[in-house]
Every structure is written in C-alpha cells, then in structure tokens.
Amino acid sequence: MFESKSRRFFMGAAAAASATQVIGANDKVNLAIVGLGGRGSAHLGTYIRLEGVQVVGLCDVNQAARERAQATLTRASKEKAREFEDMREAFADKNIEAVSIATPNHWHALSAIWAMKAGKDVYGEKPACYNIYEGLKMIEVARQTKRMMQVGSQHRSTPFKIQAIEALQGGLIGKIYQGKGLCFKRRVSIGKKPDSPTPPGVNWDLFLGPAPMRPFNELRFRYNWHWFWDTGNGDIGNQGVHQIGVARWGMGDPAYPKSVYSYGGKYAYDDDQETPNTLTTNFDLGGRELNFEVRGLMTGAEGMVPARRRRPQDAPTPVATTPAKGEPLSIMIGNLWYGTEGWAAMNDEGFQAFKGESNELVLDLRAERGPGGSDSTALHMKNFLEAVKTRNPKTLTDGLDTAVVSANYGHLANISYRVGRKLTLAEGPKFAGDAEANALITRKYRKGYEV
C-alpha cells in the first residue's frame, strides 16, 4: 500500500513541478507549513504578519496540532488553510508554491528533497540536515531542481550581527586565530517513561519516517526527540548549530576542518536521554581553530568584559532587557573570537570588540528591542520570500551551501564523540582510514523513506 502511495506522490510531484510558475513581484506566495509543533507554530505566527505570503496549507502528523494552527489563522482573521496529515499530499498540491518545514531533525532532509522535487521552494529549520550524507544530497537536489532553499539560521539576517561580522572580517581585531561557540543552555532531566499506546490522532509511523520503527514513547515525541540519536543530534545540533554557523561566519565561513576531536558525556542525570549534556569539541582549521562547548547543567557565563572595565557597583541598573552600551555582555549562548590584535564577544543582546593589552572597547553594538525593533526570523523569512520571487539564490542569507557545512560541523563532532577518538578528515566530510566513523556519515533508512 505504501509503495503505491509513493508512486502516486512522485507522479503528482512531477506534474506539480512542471506547473510551477515564476511568481510575480506583486503576488502572494502560497505557502504550506509542515510540522506544527513549537517551532512550526512560531513559523505560522510570523508568516501571518508578513506581506507577500498566504498560508494555504497546514501539515502535521498530529491532528491536535493542525487544529491549533487553524485556530491561530481564525484568530488572525485569515482564511482557513487546507489540512494534510501526510506531507507528500501537500507537496503534490498545485496550489502550494513554497513550504516552510519545522519537523524534527530526522525529517529535515527528506521532506526538503521531496518538496524540491515537487517544484516547491523551501524554508527549512536548522540544522539543515540530520546527518552528513543528507546535507550533500540536499545540495545536489537543489541544484538539479533550481529551487530556492533557505535554512532557518536567522542570525545571518540580524542587522547588528551583519554589521559586527563585516567589522570582524574587515580586520577589527586583527587576524582571527580562534573562534568559539557556547551553548550553555540549561536542560533539566527528562526522566524515564515506559512505552505506551500511540495517542489518538497521532500518526506515529509518519512521525518516525526515516527513523527505525519503535513503540510510541512520550519522551521520544514532543521536543525531547532532540535527545535520542534516532531523531535528534543533541544540543550541538539543536541550539548549537546556530552558534557554529555564527562562529564560522565570523571566521569567513571556512570549509571542513582538518580534524575534529569531541569528548564529554551525559553527566549528573539517570534518565533515558542518549545524547550528551556536556560536550567539548575542537575543530582544527589549519593555522587556526574553532572550539565549541555544550553545557546543559549548571554553569557560569563567559566572555564578560575584564573587571577593570566593568560598570561600578553603585551605578543604577538599566531597566531595558538589553544592556545599554558599555554594559558587559555575559555569554551563555553566543560566540567569542580571538585575534592577533584583540577579541570580541556576541550574543543575542549585542556585540563588543576590544583591542590591545588595555582591552579598549572599539565597537559596541546592541540589538534593537521594543516597538520598531528588528525581528530576525521575520527578516530571514522575508529574505526567503524575496528569493522565491526573484529566483536568485545568491540573495539568500543562509542557503544550503553554507548551512549544510555548519550542520555538518555538528555531525562531525557527534561522530567523534560516539566513536571516542580524534578523527582526521580526508577530502570532503569523510574520515581517513576509519570505517566505524564513516559508517555514521549516513544511516539505515526504513523502506519508502530513503534519502
């Protein structure tokens, strides 16, 4: 039954691809959202506020999620969208011109590939891919189909970050010898739960898709799928891929490293989580390095301005959420760069650069907040929609060529961690003389869900 349905999908996809038209500059893009959990709901909330796009499709394996999304459209006085349980039916719909994908990680590549082959442009959540092999296939399909694909690394559309990175690449702190990404995001224990019957209204087979078939377990469903190797990549592939991408951006987007060494573990908790909650990784870039740290447990911040430059203790505390210029940036989730002439720090609040032995503050940028402030996700989606209309992939602020490499850095780190040793890379993202590590570049796919 599944194979017959799959053949019907690809026949319909071919027809849809041939029917796809270049969208006029003044027309609205008809868009479907695939995956309506936490991040997918955020997608919906952003698109309904943007001009030039109309949400005409809602797809999720969970009926309750689709109903919640329809209610969101109703509250916003928008037209009701067509509902889909199976994304292949959405991709075969000729009325849908683009899709915004917010599925779990293990679906990112296959859903995007199916969509592009069906003639749809794609906005896909980070990480670009679940494993190294899938990212390379996504690039291949995007080039073959000439579809636009933007990955949800919205930092690259954030105005103050764009200005900061331009300054770094222009030599603000000299030649950068080290970039660092920090993902100190507090994660509590997920505990333990037994398998249970699949809840009514949930298509568990479609949820698993490319992953192995397992009994339903609540811990493997809402959000916590991040912490199981079947469906997620741990926090380095969740929150961390943002900071890896920004670290690379500040260093001029280097290609794959010469070697990777990652170590750590799941410390403190006795629960069902499989991925590490503490991870330290070094990427050797040849004459410079990129380091990354994940800490899900209790920890302090890094990157604060040296003590002699800190604000006096008796100075009034600013009311604004974003510290005023001159206030120290405390980095829990963000980036640090070290150069031959100084160092710099960035998080979502702002960017600071210091120069010389005296740590002279040479650049202090802050995020725009409140009315009139910038919404980086909205800016990123606007950038995608504009590329859909102009058909110019070079205008995408984080297309596949860049986003896949950033995602694959995280995959390289996880592979080193899982095999327990430093790995040397051969040409491209493959390992020299290590069959065990190379086996983790891809996965075994369930029949009908092969990438």
CATH number at residue 8: 3.40.50.720
Same domain flag for 259 and 387: no
pLDDT in tens, 198-210: 999 999 999 999 9
Same domain flag for 321 and 186: yes
- Segment 129-144 shows an average pLDDT of 98
What is the overall mean pLDDT for the chain?
91
Whether 22 shows a pLDDT value over 60: the answer reads no
Look at residue 344 in the predicted model and tell me its pLDDT.
97
Same domain flag for 222 and 98: no
Same domain flag for 144 and 204: no
Task: Decide if 440 is inside a domain.
Answer: no
Asked whether the beta carbons of 245 and 156 are under 8 A apart, the reply is: yes
Whether 332 shows a pLDDT value over 70: the answer reads yes
Same domain flag for 175 and 117: no
Same domain flag for 50 and 94: yes
Same domain flag for 72 and 182: no
Task: Decide if 292 is inside a domain.
Answer: yes
Whether 269 shows a pLDDT value over 90: the answer reads yes
Total domains in the chain come to: 2
Look at residue 372 in the predicted model and tell me its pLDDT.
59
Look at residue 314 in the predicted model and tell me its pLDDT.
40
Task: Decide if 423 is inside a domain.
Answer: no
**Which of 86, 82, 81 has its CA nearest to residue 115?**
86
Band the pLDDT of 374: cuts 50, 70, 90. confident
Enter the tokens of residue 289.
Answer: 């390095």
Termini Cα distance of the chain: 20
**Vertex 416, ends 411 and 417: CA angle to 5°?**
95
pTM value surpassing 0.85: yes
pLDDT in tens, 50-109: 999 999 999 999 999 999 999 999 999 999 999 999 999 999 999 999 999 999 999 999
Whether 268 shows a pLDDT value over 50: the answer reads yes
Whether 416 shows a pLDDT value over 60: the answer reads yes
CATH number at residue 179: 3.30.360.10
Task: Decide if 417 is inside a domain.
Answer: no
Whether 23 shows a pLDDT value over 80: the answer reads no
Asked whether the beta carbons of 403 and 128 are under 8 A apart, the reply is: yes
Whether 26 shows a pLDDT value over 60: the answer reads no
Asked whether the beta carbons of 344 and 168 are under 8 A apart, the reply is: yes
Look at residue 322 in the predicted model and tell me its pLDDT.
56
Which residue range forms the structural domain that includes residue 237? 158-366
Give the H or E element holding residue 250.
helix 240-250
Mark which of 336, 366, 396 sits at the end of a domain: 366
